[in-house]
Amino acid sequence: MSLLQVEHLTMQFGGLTAVKDFNLNLEKGEIVALIGPNGAGKTTAFNMITGVYRPTQGRVILMDKDITGLRPDLITGRGIARTFQNIRLFRDLSVLENVLIANHLHLKSNFLTAILKLPAYRGEERLMHQKSLALLERVGLSQFKDEKASSLPYGLQRRLEIARALATGPRILLLDEPAAGMNPKEAADLTVFIKEIRAEYDLTIFMIEHHMDVVMGISERIYVLDYGVTIASGSPHEIQNDPRVIEAYLGVEEDA
């Protein structure tokens, strides 16, 4: 049984069709990539899955539940977390505060108990603090916990954004160009990191990425979009040898 099914998703903006009839199946534990040139509709597909856009047509099914068009916070609460192509951290808050905010998704205390700081709320607050520190330790950011998020090097800001997504307790993690702006060493380290968190947090990962070394080195399956239409899907080997992909996206000769 698929963990996530995307059926015939279509997104129109006026007379422009950004994504047409997009279909996707994610099985538990997979790492699946979505590739294509700028403007192909990749982030639009992410936005429909995560509730940023309500699809013009189609459905998003998470564990047999239709979540099409739910608010992003409700979708996150059901187990889908994401990062963004342009890093969206709370730049003036500390590294620890960024992760703590994500942990608030799981608060059971109501507004009154929080305002009055009743024992139940204080207990939850302590637990969130402990979990956030443990997560920062795991992702290698604990030494920066009191630093402003904006003061981190670019690669560590990317890692913090992933840590914040992990703090929501996702089943599925959507990564929008996680290696963007990274040098080859940083991209290689990120590949190892993604494989590690997949195993440790029992994740299914769906990612958009332009770094072909990352895509081919980490993905079990790949989907390719061209002007909003899926032109190919398959294993990395199949995608590397698909003439349409070779010509339009990888930018290499067919015998490379």
Per-residue pLDDT tens digits for 212-237: 889 999 999 999 998 899 999 999 99
| pTM recorded for the entire structure | 0.85
Residue 122 reports pLDDT greater than 80? no
Closest CA to 79 of 176, 205, 200: 205
Residue 255 reports pLDDT greater than 50? no
Residue 207 reports pLDDT greater than 90? yes
Q: Is residue 102 part of a domain?
A: no
Token pair, residue 41, equals 């509709």
- Which range of residues forms the domain containing residue 77? 4-91+168-250
- Of all residues in the chain, what percent carry a pLDDT higher than 90? 57
Q: Is residue 120 part of a domain?
A: no
- Of all residues in the chain, what percent carry a pLDDT higher than 70? 88
- What does the pLDDT read at residue 186? 87
- Overall residue count recorded for the chain in this entry: 256
Per-residue pLDDT of 46-97, as tens digits, reads: 999 999 999 999 999 999 999 998 999 899 989 999 998 878 888 889 999 9
Q: Is residue 72 part of a domain?
A: yes
Residue 126 reports pLDDT greater than 80? no
Q: Is residue 162 part of a domain?
A: no
- What does the pLDDT read at residue 254? 44
Q: Is residue 62 part of a domain?
A: yes
Residue 250 reports pLDDT greater than 80? no
- What does the pLDDT read at residue 229? 93
In total, how many domains does the chain have? Answer: 1
Q: What is the DSSP letter of 60?
A: E
Query: Stretch 16-20: mean pLDDT, rounded?
Result: 95
Bigger pLDDT: 103 vs 23: 23
Q: Is residue 159 part of a domain?
A: no
Q: Could you write out the DSSP letters of every residue in 146-176?
A: TSBGGGS-HHHHHHHHHHHHHTT--SEEEEE
Count CB atoms within 10 A of the CB of residue 212: 17
Is 108 exposed, middle or buried (CB count within 10 Å of its CB: 0-12, 13-18, 19+)? exposed
Bigger pLDDT: 187 vs 125: 187
CATH at residue 246: 3.40.50.300
Q: Is residue 54 part of a domain?
A: yes
Bigger pLDDT: 133 vs 121: 133
- With left for phi above 0 and alpha for psi between -120 and 50, is residue 14 left, alpha or beta? left
Q: Is residue 79 part of a domain?
A: yes
